[in-house]
Each structure stands twice: as structure tokens, then as C-alpha cells.
């Protein structure tokens, strides 16, 4: 009876081992299809090792002689010795830990040495002392390996440490993984723990069948679990490592801190953005890592979602980044870490700056267009009014000449012809002023240092007849005036307008003083040129309106001005990088001082205005 119980027991175990071997081989073939995916090749290798273990153990049980059992036990150890290293490679690949994958490759030397020791054990007995066959009541023949020092101090110890390391990595992954991956990790944990616990009990001498290792049988359970995970949770199709690889190749920087503010993960993009995030900085407090960037510390240590922008100098320009941080919390609301994304927004900032510049330019153009439209309306009104008077006069006298030429005395005829000539000259003057104004608005002219005093003397020579007609006194203050940068014909027009304005609206007789002086201005060193008259002066309101385009201040005699002269002065002065204006106390007899400014030649230093 006991004999038949042993046969039945052995047949049951053999059947389970065959199922385990078939499952392992099938999973290995399935994993081979995914060998180029993360975890695919290590998974295939683990299944091959499990197949060697279970198939070899099955053949060990079937054979009854001691040499045969030892041979098949040695075949098993080809898979058994490599299983810890292969599990480490699988878990490291699954959890995306490249460092531990390299460690697994290095530690592969241990199973190679172990197999060399096993297959040469007959010469040194480091692996087995005196192996025997044991048959107890109600059991089948079992190989008693009588393991030696290499098994315990090299194979078992290193394998135990490696499996504990795998458990540690899987537990960490289980805690931090998203729900879809958490189920995968749980299956891997169970698939690893069950055979590991069984093997540990066997090494400790605890087994339902004396001296019999049920670990290969437990691999049938693990194989079924992993097979279920393949189809239920798409293991090898959906892996956490894929997420880590996505983070690694992201162009956005990714930074992860733990609850204590230590840097625990950073991708290559973040290291490029901030070199402080080097691989050596991992594990250090963020306050220490970013000691040179204290403005970013409050953001990285914030307990609430926070966003900010910062710049990093590079070569001759600055790169701009957007930093977005999220705190990570447990289900109880406790802070477990912080997650930050750093995005390059330099292109967007540059586009925004270009857009702002374009908008500002457009607004400036609109303002200029509005001003020119207003100016055009004033211009049309003024020109129509100013041309109407001399044209009406001209037409009136022409009508007189056409109807009464034979009856007019010579002296009256002379006066009429002079009036016609003056009206024509007046209209010509208006047209010349219009042409000059148009030129001052559009024409580009060469600028050079000028002897402005000589230009003033030349203009006075041209206006000598008017000076005599007004019995005016004109004084040039100073023998030497500072040079200024400008365009000669335009500067002569400035003097012409100011001098004729002084002759018309100055005292009776007019007294004009012309002078110049250097001065410092916010725009740099300038030369101020002036014409001071002895007229009635101008009130503050009149001074404010005087240079408004096409504005006339007086009626009657002073209305002889056609409203263009001072507009031309201001336009020319501004085109020559200067200004124009008037200073007056408003007291009769003290007159007004009309001035324009021009830049000093390069290298000259201006002095303060003496007034």
C-alpha cells in the first residue's frame, strides 16, 4: 500500500512538473515575440531557466540511479543558478533601472562559476559532499544532495540577496505605480515570492516530503500567474518602463522631489536647461542643488500648485522657461513629493515681443496717420484761406486793368501793377512754403557740420531790402558761433522764417538780435540759435499754440502771415534732430525769443545755456 502511495505521489508531482515545464516553454516562446520591447528578453530568459529547472527535475525523479539523478540535478542548476540574475534583469528592465541592469550583467559571472563548480564537483566536492538516494515510508526515491560550502556561501547567499533586491524594487514600484501597472507589479511579486518562499523552506530543511524541493512545482503556479497577467493586463505590452522612457526623451524638463525636498529624479532635458540638475545631484536637497538660483527655491518647495517663468543666459541672449509644479499627496492628503515640468517658451516670448513691437509700430503709424490727416485738414483750410486773399486781390486788379486801362492815370496804373505783382509774389511765397514743407516731411538730406553764423549772414543779405523797408536794426551777437550739424538750405529757411517773422511782428522799428550758444539736453549736446525781437510779446496760451501746424494768432496786420512759416520751422528742426520754440514774458516791448536747436558735431562738449 505504501509503495502504491509513493508511485501515485511521484506521478502527481511529475504531472505538475510537466505542466510547469510546458507552461514555462510556452511563455518563453511568447516572450520571444516581444524580445525587442522593454523586459521582453529578460522575461524570455527567465522562462527558459524555469523550463530547464522543471524539466530537469522531472527527469531526475523519473530516473532511479544515483549518477542519473546527479546528472539531471546538474542540468537543473543551469537554470537555477541563472534565475536570480535573470529576475534582477527583468525587474530592473520592468521598473526602468538601467543601473541595476548593468549590475545584473556583472553578477552573471556568479552562475557561470557555479556551473563550472557543479560540473567539476567530482574533483573537489565544493558543491556536494556525499550525495545519496533516500526513500522514506510512503515516498519515492529522492536525491539527497548534501550541499557543500559553494552552495550555501556563494549560490544561496548571492541568490538570496539578489531576490531580496528584486522584492525591494517591486515593492517600491507597487507603491508608486499607477493603477494599471500596480496590478502587473502585484502579479510579479506573487510569482516571485511563492517559489522563493518554497525554496527557502527547502534549504531550511522544511518540506512535506523529506529532502524533496517543491520549488519547481510552485513554478507551475507562478507560470499560470504570469500567463494570466500577459493576457489580462497586457504584460510586455504595457509596462511602467515605457512611461519612464517617454519621460527620458521628453523635450520638456521633468524634476521629481520627495517629501523632504530631495531631488530623486530628473530627465536629460532638465539637466540641459539647468546644469545644476546633474546626475550627481540626485539624492541631495533641492536647496543645496539650486543654491545659486534662490529665486526658484520657493517654487520647488511649494505645497500647492505653482507656476512661474524664469530666464537662463546663453551666449549673448537669454532663454525663457515656464516652470509648473504640482505637489503629490497620499490618499490621506499627506505630502509625498513634488513633480515639476520645465518648458522652453523662448520662441513664444520672442513671438510675443515681435507682436508687441509690431503692434507698437502699428499704433505709431496710426497715430502718425491721424496726425497727418488732422494736419491735412488744417493745411487745406489754411492754404485755401491764404491763397484766397491774394488771388481775390489779383483777380480784382486784373478786372480793373481789363476794363479801365485807358482811363487810369499812370500813377494809379503803377500802383495797380505793383499790387498785382505783390499778390503774385505772395502766392509764389505760399507755394514755395508748401514745397519746402513737403520736402521737410519726405526728403532725406545729408547732414554735416555747418557754419550757421555764415548762413545767417547770407540770409540777411537776401532780406536786405525788407530790412531797409522796415528800418530794422539787426545785431549778430558774438563773432564766433559754435558749429552745428544740419543741412544748409534747410537751416537758411529757418533763419528766413524767423527773421521775416521778427520784421513783421517786432517793434516799430524792429530790433532783432541773432545769437547762438551750446547747451546740454537729455538728447545730448546741442547748439541753440535764436532771434530776439522787440515786439509785444506772446502770452502763455499763444506760445502753446504758436507752433501748432497752420495756426494763426492775430487778425488784421499780423494776419499777413500765411500760417505756414512756423510749421515749417518746427518740421525742419525735428528732421534735423533738433527742436524749435519760443520764449516770451508776454510784456509789451520785451518781445519774444524764437529759437531752434541743432546737434553739436561729434566729440564736442556743450556748455550750459547762460540765460
Identify the sign of the CA torsion 44, 49, 55, 58. Answer: negative
Q: Give Cβ neighbours of residue 543 (< 8 Å, ≥ 6 apart).
A: 582, 583, 584
- Could you tell me if 156 and 26 are in contact, meaning their C-beta atoms sit under 8 angstroms apart? no
> At which residue does the C-alpha cell 518562499 appear?
197
The number of CA neighbours under 13 Å toward the Cβ of 132 is: 6
CA distances from residue 237 to 41, 88, 184, 230, 534 in whole angstroms, order as listed: 13, 20, 11, 8, 99
Under the banding of pLDDT at 50, 70 and 90, the label for residue 564 is low
CB-side neighbour CA atoms (13 Å) of 94 = 28
Going by C-alpha positions, the residue among 365, 517, 492 that lies closest to residue 440 is 492
Lowest-pLDDT choice from 22-31, 76-85, 437-446 = 437-446
Greatest mean pLDDT among 101-105, 233-237, 264-268, 449-453: 449-453
* pLDDT tens digits, 447-481: 899 999 999 999 999 889 889 989 999 999 988 89
The pLDDT mean for the chain works out to 80
Beta-strand (E) ranges in 180-294?
A: 253-258, 263-266
Helix-, strand-, coil-residue percentages of the chain, each rounded to 5: 60, 15, 25
Question: What's the pLDDT band for 124 if we cut at 50, 70, 90?
Answer: very high
Domains of the chain by start residue, with CATH: 2-242 (1.20.1070.10), 250-344 (3.30.450.20), 349-443 (1.10.287.130), 444-611 (3.30.565.10)
In this predicted structure, what is the pLDDT of residue 100? 86
What is the Cα–Cα distance from 306 to 326, expressed in whole angstroms?
7
Q: Look at the block and give the residue holding cell 505783382.
A: 421
Helices (H), 470-564: 488-505, 540-546
pLDDT of residue 133: 85
The pLDDT of residue 137: 44
User: Cβ distance 49 to 83 under 8 Å?
Assistant: yes
For every residue of 339-387, DSSP letters joined together read: EEEEEE-HHHHHHHHHHHHHHHHHHHHHHHHHHHHHHHHHHHHHHHHHH
Q: What is the pLDDT of residue 42?
A: 86
Strand partners, 285: 262
Task: Average the pLDDT over 563-579 and give the result.
Answer: 81
d(CA 112, CA 116): 6
DSSP 65-132: SHHHHHHHHHHHHHHHHHHHHHHHHHHHHHTT-HHHHHHHHHHTHHHHHHHHHHHTHHHH-SSBSS-E
Percentage of residues of the chain with pLDDT beyond 70: 76
Q: What is the mean pLDDT of residues 10-18?
A: 77
What cell was used for 548?
501748432
Averaged pLDDT, 77-103: 86
Q: Where is mean pLDDT largest: 170-179, 266-275, 371-380, 555-564?
A: 266-275
Residue 133 is classified by DSSP as E
CA distances from 318 to 349, 506, 545 (A): 11, 60, 47
Phi and psi based region of residue 550 (left: phi greater than 0; alpha: psi -120 to 50; beta: remaining): left
pLDDT in tens, 339-380: 999 999 988 888 988 888 889 889 888 887 887 776 666 666
Q: What is the pLDDT of residue 321?
A: 93
Q: Which is higher by pLDDT, 453 or 5? A: 453
347 contacts: CB under 8 Å, gap ≥ 6: none
Check whether 233 has a pLDDT greater than 60: no
Placement of cell 542643488 in the chain: 289
> How sure is the predictor about 94, in pLDDT bands with cuts at 50, 70 and 90?
confident
Q: Which DSSP category does 581 fall into?
A: E
The answer to whether the beta carbons of residues 87 and 46 sit under 8 Å apart is yes
Three-class SS of 269-304: HHHHHCCCCCHHHCCCEHHHHCCCCCCCHHHHCCCC
CA 3 to chain CA centroid, Å, is 81
Q: What percent of the chain has pLDDT over 90?
A: 24
pLDDT of res. 1: 40
Residues 348, 352, 357, 363, CA torsion sign: positive
- Among 252-266, 425-439, 521-535, 568-582, which is the least confidently predicted range? 425-439
Show the 3-state SS of 42-61.
HHHHHHHHHHHHHHHHHHHH
Burial class (CB in 10 A: 0-12, 13-18, 19+), 154: middle
pLDDT band, very low/low/confident/very high, at 609 (cuts 50, 70, 90): very low
The CB-side HSE value for 344 (13 A sphere, CA atoms) comes to: 14
Residue 282 confidence class, pLDDT cut points 50, 70, 90 = confident
Q: How confident is the model at residue 561 (pLDDT cuts 50, 70, 90)?
A: very low
pLDDT value, residue 367: 83
pLDDT in tens, 127-147: 998 888 877 545 567 788 888
Which of 256, 279, 281 has its CA nearest to residue 268? 279
Between 8 and 280, the higher pLDDT residue: 280
Whose cell is 499704433? That residue is: 363
Q: What pLDDT sits at residue 377?
A: 67
Bridge partners of 379? Answer: none
User: Which residue is associated with the grid cell 540759435?
Assistant: 529
Query: What is the pLDDT averaged over residues 408-431?
Result: 69
Any idea of the CA torsion for 557, 559, 564, 565, to the nearest 10 degrees?
Answer: 20
- DSSP class of residue 576? T
User: Exposure pattern of 362-388 as b/e (b: 16+ CB <10 Å)?
Assistant: eeeeeeeeeeeeebeebbeebbeebbe
Indicate the SS3 state at residue 136.
coil
Could you give the 3-state DSSP secondary structure of residue 37?
coil
Amino acid at each position: 500500500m505504501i509503495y502504491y502511495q509513493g508511485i501515485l505521489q511521484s506521478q502527481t508531482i511529475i504531472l505538475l512538473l510537466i505542466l510547469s515545464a510546458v507552461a514555462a516553454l510556452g511563455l518563453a516562446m511568447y516572450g520571444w515575440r516581444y524580445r525587442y520591447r522593454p523586459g521582453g528578453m529578460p522575461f524570455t530568459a527567465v522562462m527558459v531557466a524555469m523550463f530547464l529547472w522543471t524539466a530537469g527535475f522531472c527527469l531526475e525523479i523519473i530516473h532511479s540511479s544515483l549518477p542519473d539523478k546527479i546528472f539531471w540535478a546538474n542540468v537543473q542548476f543551469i537554470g537555477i543558478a541563472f534565475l536570480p540574475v535573470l529576475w534582477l534583469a527583468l525587474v530592473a528592465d520592468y521598473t526602468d533601472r538601467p543601473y541595476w541592469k548593468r549590475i545584473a550583467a556583472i553578477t552573471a559571472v556568479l552562475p557561470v562559476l557555479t556551473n563550472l563548480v557543479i560540473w567539476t564537483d567530482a574533483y573537489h566536492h565544493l558543491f556536494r559532499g556525499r550525495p545519496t538516494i533516500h526513500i522514506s515510508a510512503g515516498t519515492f526515491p529522492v536525491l539527497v544532495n548534501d550541499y557543500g560550502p559553494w552552495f550555501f556561501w556563494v549560490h544561496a547567499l548571492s541568490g538570496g540577496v539578489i531576490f531580496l533586491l528584486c522584492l525591494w524594487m517591486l515593492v517600491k514600484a507597487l507603491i508608486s505605480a499607477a493603477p494599471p501597472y500596480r496590478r502587473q507589479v502585484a502579479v510579479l511579486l506573487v510569482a516571485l515570492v511563492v517559489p522563493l518562499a518554497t525554496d527557502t523552506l527547502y534549504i531550511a530543511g522544511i518540506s512535506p516530503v523529506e529532502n524533496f524541493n517543491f520549488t519547481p512545482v510552485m513554478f507551475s503556479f507562478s507560470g499560470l500567474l504570469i500567463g494570466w497577467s500577459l493576457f489580462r493586463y497586457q504584460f510586455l505590452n504595457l509596462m511602467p518602463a515605457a512611461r519612464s522612457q517617454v519621460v527620458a526623451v521628453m523635450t520638456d524638463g521633468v524634476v521629481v522631489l520627495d517629501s523632504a525636498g530631495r531631488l530623486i529624479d530628473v530627465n536629460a532635458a532638465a539637466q540641459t536647461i539647468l546644469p545644476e540638475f546633474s546626475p550627481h545631484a540626485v539624492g541631495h536637497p533641492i536647496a543645496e542643488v539650486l543654491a545659486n538660483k534662490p529665486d526658484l527655491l520657493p517654487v520647488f518647495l511649494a505645497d500647492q500648485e505653482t507656476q512661474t517663468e524664469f530666464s537662463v543666459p546663453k551666449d549673448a541672449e537669454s532663454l525663457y522657461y515656464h516652470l509648473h509644479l504640482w505637489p503629490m499627496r497620499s490618499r490621506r492628503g499627506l505630502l509625498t513629493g513634488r513633480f515639476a515640468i520645465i518648458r522652453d517658451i523662448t520662441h513664444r516670448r520672442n513671438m510675443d515681443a515681435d507682436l508687441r513691437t509690431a503692434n507698437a509700430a502699428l499704433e505709431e503709424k496710426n497715430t502718425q496717420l491721424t496726425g497727418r490727416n488732422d494736419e491735412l485738414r488744417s493745411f487745406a483750410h489754411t492754404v485755401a484761406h491764404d491763397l484766397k486773399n491774394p488771388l481775390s486781390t489779383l483777380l480784382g486788379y486784373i478786372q480793373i486793368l481789363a476794363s479801365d486801362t485807358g482811363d487810369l492815370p499812370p500813377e494809379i496804373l503803377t500802383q495797380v501793377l505793383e499790387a498785382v505783382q505783390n499778390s503774385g509774389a505772395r502766392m509764389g511765397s505760399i507755394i514755395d512754403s508748401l514745397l519746402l514743407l513737403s520736402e521737410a516731411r519726405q526728403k532725406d538730406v545729408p547732414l554735416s557740420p555747418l557754419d550757421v553764423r555764415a548762413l545767417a549772414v547770407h540770409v540777411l543779405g537776401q532780406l536786405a531790402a525788407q530790412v531797409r523797408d522796415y528800418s530794422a536794426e539787426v545785431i549778430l551777437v558774438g563773432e564766433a558761433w559754435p558749429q552745428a550739424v544740419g543741412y544748409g538750405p534747410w537751416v537758411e529757411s529757418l533763419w528766413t522764417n524767423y527773421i521775416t517773422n521778427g520784421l513783421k511782428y517786432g517793434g516799430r522799428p524792429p530790433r532783432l538780435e541773432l545769437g547762438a550758444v551750446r547747451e546740454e539736453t537729455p538728447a545730448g549736446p546741442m547748439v541753440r540759435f535764436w532771434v530776439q525781437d522787440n515786439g509785444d510779446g506772446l502770452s502763455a496760451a499763444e506760445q502753446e499754440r504758436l507752433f501748432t501746424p497752420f495756426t494763426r494768432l492775430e487778425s488784421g496786420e499780423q494776419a499777413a502771415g500765411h500760417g505756414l512759416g512756423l510749421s515749417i520751422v518746427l518740421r525742419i528742426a525735428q528732421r534735423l534732430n533738433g527742436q524749435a520754440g519760443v520764449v516770451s514774458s508776454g510784456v509789451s516791448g520785451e518781445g519774444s525769443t524764437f529759437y531752434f536747436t541743432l546737434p553739436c558735431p561729434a566729440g564736442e562738449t556743450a556748455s550750459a545755456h547762460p540765460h
